[in-house]
Structure formats: C-alpha cells, structure tokens
Amino acid sequence: MAIKDYLRERFFPHMWCPGCGHGTILNSLLRAIEDLGLSKSNIVMTSGIGCSARISGYVDFHSLHTLHGRALAFATGVKLSKPELTVIVPMGDGDALAIGGNHFIHAARRNIDITAIVMNNRIYGMTGGQFSPLSGPGKKATTAPYMTIDNEFDVVELAKAAGATFVARSTAYHCQEATGYLKQAILHKGFSVVEILSQCPTHYGRKNKEGDAAAMLEIQRDTTARIGSKALDENPGLIPRGIFVDIEKPEYCEEYGKIIERATKRKAS
Amino acid sequence: MSEKLMFVQGNEACVQGALYAGVDFFAGYPITPSTEIAELLAAKLPEKGGKFIQMEDEIASMCAIIGASLTGHKVMTATSGPGFSLKQEAIGYACMAEIPCVIVDVQRGGPSTGNPTHVSQGDINQARWGTHGDHGIIALTASNHQDVFRITVDAFNLAETYRTPVVLLFDEVIGHMRERLVVPEPGALPIVDRLRTSVPKDVDYHPYLPREDGRLPMSDFGGHHRYNVTGLFHDMWGFPSNNPSVVQELLRHLVDKIDTNVDVITRYKEHYLDDAEYILVSYGSSARSAIHLAKNRRQKGERLGVLELQSIWPFPAELVRARCADAKAVVVVEMNMGQVLTQVKAAVDHPNRVFLANRIDGKLITPSDIKGLLRVIQGKGV
C-alpha cells in the first residue's frame, strides 16, 4: 500500500507549522506499519491534546482524539476491552509527562500492550511556546522570559524505572532508525515507549536561537549518538539513541485473561 | 432461572442492576462510600468474561470506560464527591463525543474531602453542571434497593438510547444500608442493547449522522468502519470543525436530545398524593423519611403526600408544576442547601409556597425534622 493509503486526505492540509518534525515522525510511523503489514482496521490510535495529538485524525485507523494528558487512560480501556487490537498512542512531551505523567508511569507499571510514542520537541507548541517538563534548565520560553529553572525528565530513564518493557529513543533526523524502533515497539508484547526528538522551529528554535528546521535537524544529528558507539564513548554528554530495554514480562491483558479463567472455573465449581 | 432473593447493601443492589443490564467493563478507583461497587464487580465481572480494572486515579477510570465503550461494551464507573469532581472533564468528553456510559456517584458530605463516611445530597448541581459548557445530561436516583436495581438498569438503557453519560446519584445511606432485594428473572425487565450501524463494509459510515428517528447507530472500534472520535466540535464524519453552523447545530443537538425527551426520561413515584394539601418533594434516602412521615400523618387524617423524584436531570418541571398546582404548601426534603428546591421553585405556579426541609450535618433527615418544619408552615408552632 502507498503511504497515502494510510492517510485521511479529507483532514488535510495538516495544522503543523513549516519545518515541524512531527510530519517526519508520522512518516516513520506509517512506514513501520506498512512494513509490518498491519490491517488498518486492527489499529486504534489514541491521542491527547497538542500538536502531536492531531496525528490521530490524519491516519486512516480507528482514531480517538481525547483529553490533554489522558490518551493512555483511554487507550487502556480500549486495549483491555478488546486485546486483539493494536493500540498506538502518540503524545507530546507536555501531554505525556506533565499532565499525563501519572498515566504514563502506571501504563508502564502494568505492562499493558500499548505502544507509546513521545514526540519530544521540548515545548508546548499549540499554546504558543511555553516550557515543558522536558525543556530542561536554562531555556527560553514564553513562560520563562528570563530562563527556565525547572529540571527535565529523561523519558528513557523514567520509562525504565516505571517498568516499561521496551524503551527506545531516536530523532526526526534519524527517520529510518525511528521506523525500525517503532516496528519493534509495535511487535513487542507489553508497554513500549519510543521517544523521538522532534523540532519546533516556530517556538523552541526561535526563542533558543537554534535556527531553522534544517539547523535544528543538524543539532539532532550532532548532539545524539547510538548506544555502544565510539562517539558516545568519547562524548558521554551526547544524548544516547537506541534500544535501552527489550525484555519479556507478563502482559496485563494476558494476565487478566488468566483471572477470567480462574473466576469462571470458581463459578462453575 | 428464576428470581433471586437477596439481603444486600444499596451498592450491591446497584451492582446487581448493572450486571442485569449487561455491564461488562468497569474501571474505578477506591473511594468511600462507593468502594463496594468496585469490590463486587472485581469479583463478578471476570466470572462472566467481563473486565474490571483498578486505575491509577479517578480521571483515568472515567477515560478507560469511555475507551471500552467504543469497542462495543457496556461500561460503568463508581465514585463519590471528590472523585466525581475529578471525572467531570471526561464526562464532558462523553457528552460531546456521545459515548454511552454510566457513572455512579454515591454522595457524601462536601465540599472537598468533607464528610466521607456520612450522607449528603450535595452533588445534585454538580451532576448537572460539573463539566464546562452547555450540554444535556441524565441523572437518576432511588430511595430503596429494589428501585436502585431497576433505576440502574434504566441508566444503562438510557445511556444506549441517547448515546450519553448517565449519572446515578445515590447517597451514603442508600449505598450502605442493607435491605431486601429481589433480582428479577432475566428478560423480566427490558434491556436496550447497543444500536449498531447497518452500513456494510466498504461503504462510508457517518458516526454522527442521525437516523430518521434521531438515533445515532454506532460502530465498534476494531470493526469495519474506521472513523474519528474527538472532543472538539465535529461534523457527521467525526472530523473537527469550527464552522459556526456545525458548532451551533451540534451544541443544540447535545442539549435538545435530552431536554426534548424529558417526558420519556422522567421517573417518579407518588405516595398518598391524590388529594394532598401538603406535598413533600424528595428523592434518595431523604424520601424514605418523607414517605414515613406521610404514612403516619395520613393515619391521623392529615392530607400529606410525597412526590418522589427518581430522575433529577433533565428536571421534570412540568410534572412538579402539575402535581403541586393545588398544594397549600410544598416542602422540598433534601440533604443540601436547597439544590432541588431551586428547581421546584422555578417550576411551580406559586414559588412563595415552596419551603425547604433539610439537614446538612451528615445525619439522615428524620420524619420529625420534616414534621417540625411542617408545623411551622401550618401555623401550629414547633
């Protein structure tokens, strides 16, 4: 199938700014789904609120565009009630880890078979450029006119600690690498998190003098390195990319299936 | 299968009603005084292949049942005051996206943490206006366990019929009191199942295009039809729109689909009402005291009756006006500062004849509390 067969052209033009990284991430995701040969009718995409969340409307899957921060809670209801569905949840950094932080850690703890994608542009774009819990200190934003003093989360470390059984990081620049990680994340049985660094030239880039979209993509190239690479060994300050966790653990819906077996047996006896 | 006799808490009567109506997904979070509903469904749902999940918070519970409703399940959550507050944004989402679901609020004293283990009826207005923006909502209640059972079945039926969240406004006394319950045989009460679209595969399905009768057939997530569901104003495809005519038409639809059906939705009971000079309007556990008083005063020849409301929203204003038209005085009996009183005053021809008998101290209002006020109104002193 051509990529456009996965899109709802009725929804276009999309609302992302010129140079936004989110369209590239959508491309990486659709290529992953195409490579896996998944049926469109078997996929539910659930999203919250924000620039990233608009992805769910653009794709020709079952799509559930919900409340700010709550996408994983809605997705948990979808998945547990119909475990045969493939559930994919794209989120922004504020959506996933500020207002939605509690749902993020608990979905990871349960190890429910959902693929969470954190499209991290380190800013609240839709509301006009406020700092997010992933901006980190020393940054400029409309709500930090002097500079941010808030520390940032490390999505990978947080997901690992919370119990996610597949955790990876890539960037919009490394779009083919991202496709590979997304394929593995979707196939993974359990809660998987893929953080993909994205660029917001309109708000983050302009305020923090990172240049245009092309310059910001170069920053993604130059400030990250694959885990196990010589570059990372020599420059431990670089942001590591790669698969950080890929383990097997009991998956929530399968475990609940065993509860049903136990309960129906008890009832019958 | 025959009917089943039980001696249970109101919370269990609600669970039995939900199971009878076909609930097969529940998400919840522990909160007094509704927790027994979650505990019982944790045991009973998997026995019939249903799903129970204890979520990380009240908000997540509300969101999870909406997700599960979209895959074609009958869903419920249960909570009390603080949790009901937290769920409000997602209740508004269910109103906007027209997702059938049932929310039980076993009321306790508020505001804030308030009086968790004691009775109140302070959430009447929150059930109506807790979420932001204009919308229609259905809220039902009951004063005894047989009615709790039946009204719970009704809640599921109305949720499916009107594609709307339905709130069950019980209270701590009803929730925790034990009483006789007869669970009718399957088939004895009507059950409304999900109305699914007849649009075949590969033919465009419009999730928000009403049929001739105004109903909106649904299509389960995971089925043939892939469509968008959003909390934004949307067109018949479910696509976001800020086109003024789309916005206006949808908002009117959300309000009208409930309000124009007030007569169909209204549930009530009359006790000694035919020739009543004095009328007590009440609901939930406070109606028990009102009915008790009316029964006693009738034996003494006093013409006292009770109009027991079992649907609070949409408010049955015409019913209240008609029944109270000839009354010398109307006393609204409730455990709040007059939330239904305001509605009754607005409904009747003579609002100056409407009085409030209330308790707000966490104790169940008693027949003598009501009698004391009635004597004052009747000019008999205290």
Task: Give domain B268-377's CATH number out of 3.40.50.360, 3.40.50.920, 1.10.1060.10, 3.40.50.2000.
Answer: 3.40.50.920
Cis peptide before B33 (omega within 30 of 0): yes
**pLDDT tens, position by position, A175-199:** 999 999 999 999 999 999 999 999 9
Residues B238-259: tens digit of each pLDDT: 999 999 999 999 999 999 999 9
* CA–CA gap between residue A217 and residue A215 (Å, rounded): 5
Q: Taking CB atoms and an 8 Å cutoff, what residues of chain B touch A8?
A: 228
Mean pLDDT of B130-147: 98
In the chain, the amino acid numbered A178 is: A
* pLDDT tens, position by position, A115-125: 999 999 999 99
Across A99-127, average pLDDT: 98
The pLDDT value recorded for residue A146 is: 97
* Least CB–CB distance from A80: residue in B53, B221, B230: B53
Give the pLDDT score at B2.
86
What is the ipTM metric for this complex?
0.97
Residues of A in contact with B48 (CB under 8 A): 264
**Residue B1 pLDDT greater than 90, yes or no:** no
Tell me which chain B residues have a C-beta less than 8 angstroms from the C-beta of A84.
Answer: 222
The pLDDT, as a whole number, for residue A147 is 97
To the nearest whole Å, the CA of B50 is away from the closest chain A CA by: 8
Whether residue B128 is predicted with pLDDT greater than 90 in this model: the reply is yes
B379 touching A, CB under 8 A? Answer: no
* Nearest residue, CB atoms, B239 vs list A10, A42, A61: A10
CA–CA min distance A265, chain B (Å): 8
Write out residues 216-235 of B within 8 Å (CB-CB) of A.
220-224, 226-232
Q: What are phi and psi of A116, to 5 degrees?
A: -100, 130
**Interhelix angle for A71-81 vs B58-70, to 10°?**
50
> Residue A1: its pLDDT value, please?
77
User: Mutating which of A7, A41, A46, A74 best tests the B interface, going by the most B Cβ atoms within 10 A?
Assistant: A74
Residue B292 pLDDT grade (very low, low, confident, very high; cuts 50, 70, 90):
very high
Kindly state the tokens that stand for B246.
């789309």
What mean pLDDT do residues B46-52 have? Answer: 98
The domains of chain B are located at 1-265, 268-377
Best mutation target, B70, B77, B98, B237, to test chain A (most A CBs within 10 A) = B70
Q: Is CATH 3.30.360.10 the classification given to domain B1-265?
A: no
Domain A14-268: CATH architecture, name and number where available = 3-Layer(aba) Sandwich (3.40)
CB-CB neighbors (< 8 A) of A77 in chain B? 25, 27, 53, 63-69, 75
Dmax over Cα atoms in chain B, in whole Å? 75
Which residues have C-beta within 8 Å of that of residue B150, sequence separation ≥ 6?
B17, B142, B189
CA atoms within 13 A on the CB side of B308: 21
pLDDT at res. A268: 85
Distance from CA of B307 to the nearest CA of A (A): 40
Give the DSSP letter string of B252-294: HHHHHHHHTTHHHH--EEEES-TT-SEEEEE-HHHHHHHHHHH
How far is the alpha carbon of A50 from chain B, nearest alpha carbon, in Å?
12
Tokens, residue A44: 């539910």
Ordered DSSP codes for A115-161:
EEEEEE-SEETTTT-EE-TTT-TT--BTTBSS---PPPP-HHHHHHH
The pLDDT of B333-355, averaged and rounded, is 98
